[in-house]
Amino acid sequence: MSSSVVLITGAAKRIGAAISRHLHQLGYRLVLHYHTSDTAALALQQELNAIRPHSVHIVRQDLTQLDQLAAMADRVLGCFGQLDGLVNNASSFYPTPLTSSTPMQWHDLMTTNAAAPYFLIQALLPALRQHNVNQQGGAIVNMVDIHAEKGLQHHLLYSMAKNALATLTRGLANELAPDIRVNGVAPGAIIWPAHELTTEQKQQVLASIPMGRLGHAQEIAETVAFLLAGPGYLTGQIIALDGGRSSRGLSEA
């Protein structure tokens, strides 16, 4: 695995940073994408390169600028000259109540969560189709969401975008086999969202989770690593990593 190269979008903070650290620990070389988190991205690159020199590059890009993604793909491939895996982790997430949501919010949420992964995969497809160092095809892991199917209350634009990403995951698994495996991770409550929740809201969320706790970013990272390296026969699957929450069919909190 030590020579494999993976691009992680939205890699500078939170779950993206946890995925980056875990894959790096496993021996991957990384290209870390970020948009506005310059300080965090540079710090993470320096941290990981201090452990293993010249193993991490960073690439800045606004993913809503879809016409620039082909050029971004060229920059990514210029880092190491190959690409074996892609983790589409970058995502906008915020409430969009029906009565006040805007076309600008629609564009942002649909683009970052669905359109950008689509066109980034399109641009990187030739590289991912090449056999990697382990003589296996490339692997794509998309970060979906347990609310993609039924929708999260007051977050319908986000949920619709993640539903599109789920469709993309399953559809591309069929179209790209056997050269490229495409799978997804659908996290439940892992890290409290940036917008503040009340104590009561947090208690309601925890009460809906059979495991009785939030998940850990490290658990997401381990699942991503499994899917990147995982069984060559595993494709078109979306793993719900939610402590059993989706088994209860709850989607309102």
Range list of β-strands (E), the chain: 5-8, 29-34, 56-60, 85-88, 139-143, 181-187, 238-241
* Terminal Cα distance for the chain, rounded: 39
User: Distance between CA 114 and CA 130 in Å, rounded?
Assistant: 24
User: Distance between CA 59 and CA 90 in Å, rounded?
Assistant: 13
- DSSP, collapsed to helix, strand or coil, labels residue 233 as coil
User: Distance between CA 189 and CA 241 in Å, rounded?
Assistant: 9
Residue closest to 140 by CA, chosen among 115, 164, 109, 176: 176
The residues with which 34 forms a beta bridge, in sequence order, are 60
Residues with catalytic roles: 158
